[in-house]
Copies of this chain bind each other. A is one copy, B any other.
Amino acid sequence: MYLSKLFIPITKNLPSEAKIKSHQLMIQTGMIKQSSAGIYSWLPLGFKVMKKIEQIVREEQNFIGAQEMLMPTIQSSEIWKESGRYEDYGEEMLRIKDRQGREMLYGPTNEELITDVFRTSVKSYKSLPQLLYHIQWKFRDEIRPRFGVMRCKEFYMKDAYSFDLSDEDAKKSYNKMFYSYLKTFSRLGLKAIPMAAETGPIGGDLSHEFVILAETGESQIYADKRILQIDPSQYKFNDVSLQKMRKDFSTIYAVTDEKFKENEFNKQVSKENQMVAKGIEVGHIFYFSDKYSKPMNCLIDDKDGKKTSVKMGSYGIGVSRLVGASIEANFNNNIMKWPKTISPFDVVIIPSISKNNKENLIKAENVYKELKKQNIDVLLDDVDENMSNKFKKHDLIGVPYQIIIGSKSEKDNFEFKELNSKSEILSLEKIKSKLKL
C-alpha cells in the first residue's frame, strides 16, 4: 500500500477528552474516528490491527475445540425476563422498542441468548461437552464513556460459552479456556496475569480476570510478582496438565481490589515479592454452573435418562479494547512499536524524496515490488515531506521495521531499522530474510 493512497487521516488536533496515550494515538494516526460519544468508526489502519487481533483470538479458540457461530446484536427482552436479569441490568442496557412496541435490547452479553439456542438444540449428555463462541459487537450505554476504545459504548467482543454435564467436566472446560487465554495474550505480545475476581452481574463462584500491566489501567492489582515468571508454554493440552496449570497460577497471590484484603496480602506475600500496580482487564472468564440453565429450563438427559440443568461458563475477550490496551502496553519514549503479530504492516519503506529528485522514490518502488512478491505486507511512504517529519509520523504509526532509502543506501544495500534499535546497512536479501523470521 502506498501511504498517499491509504485512507489515513493523520491529525494534530486532539480532542480535549483524549487523556490516555492509546486514545490520543488512535486519533492522531487516524485509526479511529468518533461518530458520537463512545461510538467509533474504525478506519483502515485501526481496522487492520483489530482484524489481526480477532484472527489470533479465533485461532486459539478453534485450537481448544470451540466452534464459531454468530448471534445477533438485537435481542428480545423475553429471555432476559426468564433469567431475571432484565430488571437487574440497569441503565447500561440499551433498551429499544420496535415498531410494533415489542421490548428489544442491544445485547451487552449473550448468556441468555446462547442458553436459548442450546436448550432447543441439544437434548442428550452424548452431545456434551460443547464450546461455542462468537465475535460480535456489543453495546453498553456507559454514562461516561472515556479512554477511546478502552471504555466505549459499542465494542467488539469474543464471548464463548461452555456446556457440560457435571461440575467436574465444566471445570475442565474452564481450564481449556484459561489455557487458550494465556496463549492468545502471549501471541498478541502481552503479558497477562490471571487474577481471582468477583463474578459481578454475570454470577457464579469461579472467575478470573486477565489483566495486563499498564499505568493507565483502571484496575488496581495486588500480586506476588513471581506470578509473572510462570511460563504458560510448559503446560500440555490435556486435562491433567491444564488442572495443574490453573493450580499453579491460583496458589500464587494475585487479586484485583475487589478481592483485596491487606492482612491476607501481607500474610501470604513476603514484602520483597509484593507488587501493587495498575492493570487493564483484557479478558474475563466465569463458571456459573446452572445460574442461567435452571431458570431458563435448559435441560439435558444424563446417563440414566434423568433430566438435569446443563452446567455453563462464559468467557470474554475484549477484541476492540485490546487494540487500545496494546498501545498502552507498548508505547514508550514517544514511540509506538506494534508487536509483529498485530502490526498493521510488516515493514515501511521511507524514501527521502524531493521535488527535483525522484531517484529514491523509484528505488523504493522497486524494493516495494520485491517485498510484495514475497507476500510481505509493506507500506511505502511516498508522501513528499521532509525526513524528520516522516520519522516522527512513523514513530506513531508504529510499523516495527523500516527500510530507509536516502543518503546511506547504495545499490542493493539499504538502511534497515527496527524501531527503538540502531539501523544497519543490509542487502535486500538479508532484509527479506529478517522480515520473514
Residues of A within 8 A of B (CB): 4-7, 9, 30, 33, 35-36, 39-44, 47, 50, 65, 67-76, 78, 91-92, 94, 96, 98-99, 102, 104, 106, 113, 116-117, 120-122, 126-127, 130, 132, 137, 139, 141, 143, 153-154
Contact = CB atoms under 8 A, between A and B. Distances in A.
8 contacts: A33-B121, A36-B78, A36-B102, A40-B72, A41-B69, A43-B69, A47-B68, A47-B69
Most chain B C-beta atoms within 10 Å of own C-beta, residue among A36, A39, A92, A143:
A36
A5 B128 CA distance: 8
A333 B31 CA distance: 50
A154 B9 contact: no
Contacts of A6: 67
B121 A74 contact: no
Contact of A137 (B7, B67, B73, B121): B73
B71 A47 contact: no
A380 B52 CA distance: 30
A41 B74 contact: no
Given A42-B70, A74-B139, 11 more contacts: A7-B121, A9-B122, A35-B71, A35-B76, A36-B102, A36-B104, A41-B113, A44-B68, A74-B153, A99-B143, A106-B106
Given A35-B113, A113-B41, A121 B9 contact: yes
Contacts of A104: 36
Contacts of A117: 33, 35, 41, 43
A120 B72 CA distance: 31
